[in-house]
Amino acid sequence: MLTVILNRHAGAGTNHVPSLLCCFMTDTEERAAPTGERTTTRPSLRVILVLGAMVALGPFTIDMYLPALPDIGTDLGASSSAVQLTITGTLLGLALGQLIVGPLADSLGRRRPLIAGIGVHVAASVLAVFAPTVAVLGVLRVFQGIGAAAAAVVARVSAGRSSSPSTGAGSSSSSP
């Protein structure tokens, strides 16, 4: 896909730097230089770190939880297999969240699904601390996964949109 974008830019006579960072640029601007060429600025370090943190929320949700599995089973009086099912619930939430939040981000914009997803993740995380049974914990872990998926989807969409051409889809020439 990147080569298609680069070829399209090269054919249009624009100045495009084919670096790995260009794939993940989000806070970029294409400005017309005095000579009429287009230049692309690099994203700020803050934007890169925020997008990286949003994408890492899902793996962080799982990885920070794994060492505590034996203690969770003891505290809730559940078998180790029942506690391990809460990890499956998180993965299920991550998968369902991507299917749900992707179309919502397209129709509502990126901000509202992102804020709602992070809010769901935080609320589920706080409630999981007070879960009385492993079943309640499992349900809350599904909601954690959905919230983490919202952050990851919006971050990936934000990164992907900045590397796509700024001209509309209908404005490209139809040469073979």
**Mean pLDDT throughout 94-109?**
90
Question: Kind and range of the H or E element at 14?
Answer: none
pLDDT tens for 16-25 read: 433 333 333 3
| pLDDT at residue 155, rounded to an integer | 85
Kindly tell me if the per-residue pLDDT of 161 is higher than 90. Answer: no
Look over the chain and give the mean of its residue pLDDT values, rounded to a whole number: 76
Q: Provide the residue ranges of all domains of the chain, joining segments of one domain with +.
A: 2-43, 45-161
Q: Is 19 helix (H, G, I), strand (E, B) or coil?
A: coil
**Mean pLDDT throughout 141-153?**
94
Where do the H-state alpha helices sit in the chain?
2-12, 45-63, 69-76, 80-108, 111-129, 134-163
Query: Got the DSSP string for 47-89?
Result: HHHHHHHHHHHHHHHHHTTGGGHHHHHHHHT--HHHHHHHHHH
Share of the chain above pLDDT 70, in %: 66
Q: pTM for the full model?
A: 0.67
